[in-house]
């Protein structure tokens, strides 16, 4: 089977074609970094207009690269939430229109489920496994028991990790996007020069917190005054290490909880844009080894927002006989575990 996937939940416009043998026939992503860089963050109105300007062309390009025509698609999948509602409406409306014209099933995909199932696309991973989802709008630990079957063990109680990276990069005048900018600056920094808090480390449960750490960086930057390039590098290194150690501590608690009664291999899947951070991956690998887990990280292109993971999630649901009506409404909030407590915080979209 072949599925066309569309992703427009934030600031990447993407389209892809994926086959049910886990082959990505085409994966086209257009970044909007230049449009949002002057503002130091994503502007929803600008993002929605950019999706509207480019999506049709990207869908056509994905079909061209795949070597297949629309008539050969078995379904059209589009991200229907969570995310910025303007962008979601562009993608969902386009996906519905294509499905209606071609007479194909339409699958409304939860963006978080796209990340959750990406390791099955890249590694063919079997259920169940533990997922750490870390991105600009999400920071969660979930047990993935199957398609549509998720249990949240922990989440941020305030800010998402990626949001904290963006704000710290802005404080340090490192540029946008914040994640790569902080990592680049930290490469020449001394992480031991400044001590920053490790939020929630050692506390019960698996929840995260980043607002206090972000505020500690703000106070440190104010104290430094006219910071030198070396000051900025040292602060970036200290912040990055604090995030990595805090996340690893929370993930360690989740791994120990998940492992109780588990039969078979134990895997920790790390997905989302912040999962591209090399220090975070290294720190998580060490913690996973302590807990008897193997870290599975999809390729960087599947960690950030992309159409291939949406097409794959659509395929997984299609194989179970699931599809959605053309009256399906895009939703800015759409938790994977509806029974879990609703999340509130800066940038949190689930």
What would the pLDDT profile of 162-172 be if each residue is shown by its tens digit?
999 999 999 99
Name the residue with tokens 């490469």. 187
Work out the pLDDT band at 318, boundaries 50, 70, 90: very high
What is the token pair recorded at 100? 């209606």
Identify whether the C-beta of residue 48 lies closer than 8 Å to the C-beta of residue 92: no
| CATH class of residue range 2-116+305-319 | alpha beta
Q: What is the pLDDT of residues 21-79, one digit of tens each?
A: 999 999 999 998 888 888 878 899 999 999 999 999 999 999 999 999 999 999 999 99
- Is it true that 2-116+305-319 and 128-300 share their CATH fold? yes
Phi, psi (5° rounding) for residue 13?
-100, 125
- Overall average pLDDT of the 317-344 stretch: 92
pTM, to two decimals: 0.94
Residue 19: the pLDDT is 98
Comparing 69 with 350, the larger pLDDT belongs to: 69
Residue 136: the pLDDT is 82
Q: What is the pLDDT of residues 125-183, one digit of tens each?
A: 999 999 999 988 889 999 999 999 999 999 999 999 999 999 999 999 999 889 999 99
d(CA 328, CA 325): 6
Residue 345: the pLDDT is 58
Residue 82: the pLDDT is 94
Taking the domains of the chain in order of start, what are their residue ranges? 2-116+305-319, 128-300
Residue 127: the pLDDT is 96
Q: What is the pLDDT of residues 227-266, one digit of tens each?
A: 999 999 999 999 999 999 999 999 999 999 999 878 888 9
Three-state helix/strand/coil letters over the chain: CEEEEEECCCCEEEEEEEECCCCEEEEEEEECHHHHHHHCCCCHHHHHHHHHHHHHHHHHHHHHHHCCCHHHCCEEEEEEECCCHHHHHHHHHHHHHHHHHHCCCEEEEEHHHHHHHHHHHHHCCCCCEEEEEECCCCEEEEEEEECCEEEEEEEECCCCHHHHHHHHHHHCCCCCCHHHHHHHHHCCCCCCCCCCCCCCCCCCCCCECCHHHHHHHHHHHHHHCCCCHHHHHHHHHHHHHHHHHHHHHHHHHHHHHHHCCCCCCCEEEEECHHHHCHHHHHHHHHHHHHHCCEEECCCHHHHCCCHHHHHHHHHHHHHCCCCECCCCCCCCCCCCCCCCCCCCCCCCCC
Query: How high is the mean pLDDT of the chain?
Result: 94
Domain 128-300 sits in which CATH superfamily? ATPase, nucleotide binding domain (3.30.420.40)
Residue 344: the pLDDT is 65
Work out the pLDDT band at 187, boundaries 50, 70, 90: very high
Sign of CA dihedral 169, 170, 173, 178: positive
């Amino acid at each position: 089977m072949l599925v066309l996937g569309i992703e427009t939940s934030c600031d990447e416009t993407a389209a892809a074609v994926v086959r049910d043998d886990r082959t990505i026939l085409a994966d086209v992503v257009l970044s909007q970094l230049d449009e949002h860089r002057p503002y130091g963050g994503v502007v929803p109105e600008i993002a929605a207009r950019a999706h509207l300007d480019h999506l049709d062309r990207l869908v056509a390009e994905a079909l061209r690269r795949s070597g297949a025509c629309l008539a050969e698609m078995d379904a059209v999948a589009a991200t229907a939430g969570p995310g910025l509602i303007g962008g979601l409406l562009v993608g969902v409306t386009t996906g519905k229109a294509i499905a209606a014209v071609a007479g194909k099933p339409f699958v409304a995909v939860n963006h978080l489920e796209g990340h959750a199932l990406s390791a099955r696309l890249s590694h063919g991973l079997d259920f169940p496994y533990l997922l750490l989802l870390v991105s600009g709008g999400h920071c969660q630990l979930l047990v993935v028991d199957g398609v549509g079957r998720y249990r949240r063990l922990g989440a941020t109680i305030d800010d998402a990790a990626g949001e904290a990276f963006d704000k710290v990069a802005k404080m340090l005048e490192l540029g946008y996007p914040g994640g790569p900018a902080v990592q680049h600056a930290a490469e020449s920094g001394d992480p031991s020069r400044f001590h920053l808090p490790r939020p929630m480390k050692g506390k019960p449960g698996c929840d995260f917190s980043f607002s206090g750490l972000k505020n500690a960086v703000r106070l440190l930057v104010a104290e430094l005054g006219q910071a030198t390039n070396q000051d900025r590098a040292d602060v970036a290194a200290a912040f990055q290490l604090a995030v990595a150690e805090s996340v690893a501590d929370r993930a360690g608690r989740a791994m120990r909880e998940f492992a109780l009664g588990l039969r078979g291999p134990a895997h920790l899947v790390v997905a989302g844009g912040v999962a591209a951070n090399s220090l975070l991956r290294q720190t998580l690998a060490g913690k996973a080894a302590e807990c008897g887990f193997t870290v599975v990280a999809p390729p960087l292109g599947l960690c950030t927002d992309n159409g291939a993971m949406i097409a794959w999630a659509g395929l997984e649901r299609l194989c179970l006989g699931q599809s959605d009506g053309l009256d399906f409404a895009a939703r800015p909030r759409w938790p994977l575990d509806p029974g879990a407590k609703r999340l509130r915080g800066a940038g949190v979209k689930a």
